[in-house]
Structure 1
Amino acid sequence: MDTLAQRLKYLLDTQGVSQNALAKMIGVTQASIGKIIRGETLEPKKIFEIATALNADLEWLKTGQGNYEPEPISPVSSEPDENHTYRIDQLDVQAAANLDGMINPDFPDIIRSIWFSDDGVRKMLNRHNTQGISIIQVPTDSMVPTIYPKDLVFIDTRIKTFSTDGIYVFLLNDRLYIKRLQMLPTGVIQATSDNKNYQPFEITEELFDTALIVGKFIQVMSIDMRDL
């Protein structure tokens, strides 16, 4: 495929995209696409938009050099770049999932930051941005199989009150917990571990009024930071 016209026609044919559909995708007329296909337009102004719409490598589309498929972008990175612009900080706090909790230093310091691509935020966190999201690690096994020790746990730190049943990170009597909280008909909140080897415990309304909600569980991921 020696010409731009041939390469564009190849992309349209293999992906089943019509000239009219491509025109609508990039905001031009079908006639403009037709001129490229016929070889009348050799340097289209919207070549970048065409490559993006057809998931093609820009340099390949322009010159024929390299592969037509772009290099895949990793959803996460240890450093920011043009593809990884969404930052989430890992906090220096280990939420205890066992019954006794864990005494923590002043909450929190930042251990490291992880940078996400736009696609990574959408697919991995089901979000459009990372506002209010932080990462912690859980050192024990009592939230297994939902959370395994050393998993990265993503929490929404904008949630500071108990509203609906779910997994929360909270400070109680100067100890930090991550538990599944459920409001019982009696008004007492039950804190439950997903690992059935750990017994649930109840928190009275009066005692829970003294608790500090750090955030609510969003997602858990097993990301090996050595690979970043």
Structure 2
Amino acid sequence: MGFSERLAQAMKLAGFTQGRLAKEVGMAQSSVNKLLKDANGSRKTVEIASVLGVRPEWLSTGEGEMNSINNEGTSSPNHLKVSQSGIYRVDVLDVKASAGPGALVTSDFIETIRAIEYTSEQARALFGNRPATNVKVITVNGDSMDGTISPGDQIFVDTGVTQFDGDGVYIFVFGKTLHVKRLQMQRDRLAVISDNPIYEKWYVEAGDEDRFYVMAKVLLRQTIDYKRFA
């Protein structure tokens, strides 16, 4: 297991998204994204380990125990505590992904504006065994995914997916713009596909690695229809 895999494991157990870790450590979210892609280490290993509640030696080299043990014999970080209420809370984020030309990314940090609560049974039916910390809701702008996702729809995304892991609809940053598009591997190139046929397909080329970051994979769409009577 390399540094990137250990970092991903620690983030998942602590319930940290890339944005939250970046904010607490004081680095750009894109830098955290890079650390999760075959990195050998980071000059902020000690700070990252402290925030995630793991031993810096383990994060850096993989040696020894992952967590420090407190006097009661339990892992010390508060992030690992699990709610006993049986409520599965999904954060609704104050960000809009563009199903069109792309929405300008103006901040490394995304604020939570409210949350949706589900029972554990509802959550399991909707999201499987994904932890609530990985599931977020965002709103879609633009019509390039019309037919699959309409303008104004809310989508549930899995922020635990930070790399292309098979054909599907993803949230990703390309350059300085945030998109929701279908990604499909075609031979040795990643095709970016709009389900609305009036938009042309384009490709993520081999030299675009530093401009392309997967932020999440789309799980579900929620459409709210209003019918006016007066």
Task: Report the TM-score, using the length of structure 2 for normalisation.
Answer: 0.56
User: Deviations 1:152-193 (Å, cap 9, x if unpaired)?
Assistant: 1011101111121111101111100111011111x2211001
The answer to whether the 8 A contact 1:121-1:129 is kept is no
Which residue of the partner structure matches residue 53 of structure 1? none
The one-letter amino acid paired with 2:113 is I
Q: Could you say which structure has the larger radius of gyration?
A: 1
Aligned residue pairs, count = 142
Look up the match of 1:220. Answer: 221
Please state how far the C-alpha of 1:223 moved relative to its aligned partner.
5.0
Distance 1:83 1:221 in 2: 25
Q: Which residue of 1 aligns with 2:127?
A: 125
Alignment of 1:21-170 (within 5 A): 85-98=87-100, 100-106=101-107, 107-127=109-129, 129-170=131-172
Question: How far 1:89 moved relative to its partner?
Answer: 0.7
Task: Give the corresponding residue for 2:73.
Answer: none
Q: Does the C-alpha gap of structure 1 residues 121 and 198 become closer, same or farther in structure 2, counting only changes over 3 Å?
A: same
**Runs of 5+ unmatched residues, structure 2:** 1-83, 226-230
CA distance in 2, matches of 1:111, 1:128: 21
Name structure 1 gaps, 5 residues minimum. 1-81
TM-score (norm 1): 0.57
In the TM superposition, residue 83 of structure 1 has moved relative to its aligned partner by 7.8
Q: Percent identity?
A: 32
CA gap of 1:171–1:220, structure 2 versus 1, over 3 A, is: same
Runs in 1 of length 4+ with deviation above 6 angstroms? none
Q: What RMSD, in angstroms, separates the aligned Cα atoms of the two structures?
A: 2.3
Aligned to 2:141, the other structure's residue is in SS state coil
Distance across 1 between alignment mates of 2:137 and 2:99: 15
Mapping of 1:176-191 within 5 angstroms? 176-185=178-187, 187-191=188-192
Per-residue deviation, 1:209: 4.4
- Aligned with 2:132: secondary structure? coil
Q: What is the match of residue 198 of structure 2?
A: 197
Q: Deviations over 1:51-95 (max 9, x none)?
A: xxxxxxxxxxxxxxxxxxxxxxxxxxxxxxx98711111111111
Distance 1:208 1:133 in 2: 25
Measured against aligned partners, the alpha-carbon deviations of 1:130-161 in whole angstroms (never above 9, x if no partner) come to 23111111011211221111211011101111
Return the alpha-carbon distance in structure 1 between the equivalents of residues 207 and 130 of structure 2: 37
1:210 is displaced (CA, Å) by: 2.9
Indicate if the aligned counterparts of 1:83 and 1:117 stay in contact, CA closer than 8 A. Answer: no
